[in-house]
Amino acid sequence: MSNGEQRANPAPKKYVSLREVGRQLNIPPSTVVYYKDRFARYIPSEGGQGRRSRYPVRVLAIFRRIRELFEHNWSAQQIEAELAARFSRFFEQGRVEGGPDEAPLPGEAPGVHGAVRTLSTVLDKMSDVLESQAQFRGEIRSLRGEVEALQRERDELARRHAGTVAALEREVAGLRRAKAELEQSLRRLGEAVSSPDEDFLARPLVIRSAQGEYLGVSGRGKPFSLRDFIGLIERNAASARGISMHWSRTAGQWSLAVTARDAATGQERRIELLARRTVTPSRNVVTEIVRLNINGEDAPDALLLSLFRQVRDGFSG
């Protein structure tokens, strides 16, 4: 066969239908139609509109790529840019291979018409790519604006938070100062009330027997008081002994701790007296000895009675 016959009878092209595309790629027919309509400018076809359209076999690669990109959550604009960049060679080949409407003009050198059409196609695709890039740049600018807005919001929240922390720190510092002042006031108050008042010390000193009777000591025309008891301890202390006394108050009761140390032997004796204000059945206000502790052991009632007898004898004498 001569070269002229070969040009007169070109090799037939291979085409596929949309149904064949869906069958080979396992894509539902409705999806194939959507791809074809959405990306029509990137899918070459021949034979007119509708069912008369024919698609070269190479469109299988385009449909396959579209499906892959959608599965990877690409947007339609991103897919268009990808098709324009990746399959431009297919578009050019589709125009260069020629059809009935691509025959050279009279007097035109063979292949010039196809080259012009190819160049036009490339320029169209480049324009589409630039348009897609412009869209991408617009999206990038929009995203940058959102990021900047979020950064400003973050900075504002940080500023407000810093102000809140500073205010809390100032409030805590104020509370600490108030606490220190209160503790100082309480210490001063404790120092001012470090011992019972005069009424508590001057009232008659009594003990309560097992029968509930209040027993006191009278002599020299006045009752024996807690102050008399303290004075008796001080007078009976030998010069060789060191004596210290300390008052404390708990739950409305006064505690007197007396510590006597023998200078010669170094032995120490500790007496703790617990007393409280009491009103007797006869409506007398007295100071009652609640407990007497000697060297860590509570004195029994019999010892208290014996002590009061000794006090009475000494006080009366």
Per domain, the residue ranges of the chain are: 10-147, 198-316
Contact 315, 224 (CB under 8 A): yes
Contact 286, 188 (CB under 8 A): no
SS3 218: strand
Task: Give the strand pairing for 285-294 and 297-298.
Answer: antiparallel
- Within 13 Å of residue 158, how many CA atoms lie on the same side as its CB? 6
| Whole-number average pLDDT of the chain | 75
Other C-beta atoms within 10 Å of 87: how many?
Answer: 21
Q: Give dist(CA 76, CA 64) in Å, integer.
A: 15
Sequence-separated contacts (24+) of 20-24 with Cβ below 8 Å = 21/55, 21/59, 21/60, 21/63, 24/60
Q: What percent of the chain has pLDDT over 70?
A: 68
Q: Give dist(CA 263, CA 208) in Å, integer.
A: 36
Looking at the predicted structure, is the pLDDT value of residue 176 above 80? yes
CATH of segment(s) 10-147: 1.10.1660.10
Q: From 66, 47, 59, select the one nearest 18 (Cα to Cα).
A: 59
Q: From 81, 93, 79, select the one nearest 121 (Cα to Cα).
A: 93
Q: What is the pLDDT of residue 312?
A: 61
Q: What percent of the chain has pLDDT over 90?
A: 18
Longest dimension (CA), the chain: 165
Mean pLDDT on 119-127: 59
Mean pLDDT on 57-79: 94
Mean pLDDT on 115-140: 62
